[in-house]
Amino acid sequence: MSNADLDHQAKTILTENDQGGYTIPTKGLYPYQWNWDSVFVALGFATFDPDRAWREIEMLFEGQWRDGMVPHILFRKDDPSYFPGPGVWGTDGGPIASSGHSQPPVAASVILELTGADATGRGLERADALLPKLMAWHRWYLNYRDPDGRGVLAVIHPWESGRDNLPDWDEALRAVEVRDVAPYVRKDTSHVDPAMRPHKEDYDRYLSIVAACRKVGWDPEKVAETCPFFVADPGVTFIFLRANRDLLTLAERLGRSAEAEEIRGWIARMEAGAATLWHPDLKAHVARDLRSDKLTDGISSASFLAPYAGLRDAATLQALQGHFDRIAQKIRYMMPSYDPDHACYEPLRYWRGPVWAMINYMIAKGFAEAGDRGRAERLRRDTAALIEAGGFAEYFSPETGTGAGGGSFSWTAAIWLTWASPSHAEQAA
């Protein structure tokens, strides 16, 4: 297909997955509104319908819990094609049936982008209405995912990381006792090849974590204290640090001095805490199991989000550039979600190796802002080549470019429109 044809197809995917103000990731496999999917989708809509882009995020925040949390799934309608549905989660924290935990908080960063690109003149007004909700969500993260003030954010479930079956979770997940799980039938493996999805033993433990949190009524303080899985995640931590920097810019533009001062404190806390995720032997940031206090032993694509978070000191940047070049010699398409030199790498299994377009977008943004435009452009070109060859798939093999997971995927279409498409690159130049 030509670039124009792919641009048209990407817009068609977004409009066909539009459910009337919110967008599903793809039909069948993911029939509800997902948190960070929606936020990335807004970037795609912004290229041809700015009002619709704002509406996507505003509808996401309609599901915000009373304690400030924005859930990872909003069950806006009952769809038996998805498991686990609202009955399994058993939550009542907000106005819309939802899952019980969150997802990577990219919203503030995307809202800042929408504000800068909005030609209607209403961008700041809409951002102003969302600012208190963003502040409440960020406070929730600090209170309940960093209760000890370490300056790193934990996830209570692999799903909360957005990178569900990453090898980094394996050891902590094995420590989760399988209990209180009723017989169940997975639906994901009826839509996608099981070889590309998490194993059943992983799913049993996923549901055991949900059951443990349901037992304490999803009380966020009790969850942080008792959840059998509590792992500091460089992905969520770096996305949150970046989001705070962008939230500070929004607060300053809106003249919110008190909020700006509060956010500066958050940034200082997170900058100091990030060092605790640095693995001195690997020379990269990795996950840390906060129950055992052990660092994980592999480099994931999230390790490369340090520059995106603003951590661009020479030692960090040079180490990441070295890893980037080493990995680039091992595979065809950057950036695999896990180091191909690691024993747990699998090129086509969900998050254990495949390339994800929106992760490439954030990594490239960080490299470009650090002055490394060559590696940033490599990521953009590879992302474009994957979509040109494999379509708008959920994720791709870094070795062959094969598209995998769900098809006609909303955030892949959105990333094409806002960044990967050569048409967009020519306009940006």
| Residues acting as catalytic residues | 164, 394
What DSSP assignment string belongs to 346-405? -TTSTTSS-B-HHHHHHHHHHHHHTT-HHHHHHHHHHHHHHHHHH-S-SEE-TTT--EES
Secondary structure class of 279 (helix, strand, coil):
strand
Q: Could you report how far apart the first and last alpha carbons of the chain are, in Å?
A: 23
DSSP 18: B
Looking at the chain, how many residues does it have?
429
Distance CA 41, CA 14 (A): 8
At residue 161's C-alpha, the angle toward residues 94 and 170, to 5°, is 130
Residue 324, SS3?
Answer: helix
From residue 160, alpha-carbon distances to 73, 215, 229, 268 in Å are: 10, 18, 11, 24
Q: Say how far apart CA 94 and CA 33 lie, in whole Å.
A: 15
| Cα 308 from Cα 362, distance rounded (Å) | 6
Q: How far apart are CA 390 and CA 313, in angstroms?
A: 36
Residue pair 73/39 in contact (Cβ under 8 Å)? The answer is no
| Full DSSP string of 66-81 | TTS---SEE--S--TT
Residues whose CB falls within 8 Å of the CB of residue 291, separated by 6 or more in sequence, listed in order: 172, 175, 228, 229, 230, 231
**Distance in angstroms (rounded) separating the CA atoms of residues 343 and 353:** 11
DSSP letter at 336 equals B
**In this structure, how many other beta carbons lie within 10 angstroms of the beta carbon of residue 217?**
13
Q: How far apart are CA 67 and CA 164, in angstroms?
A: 24
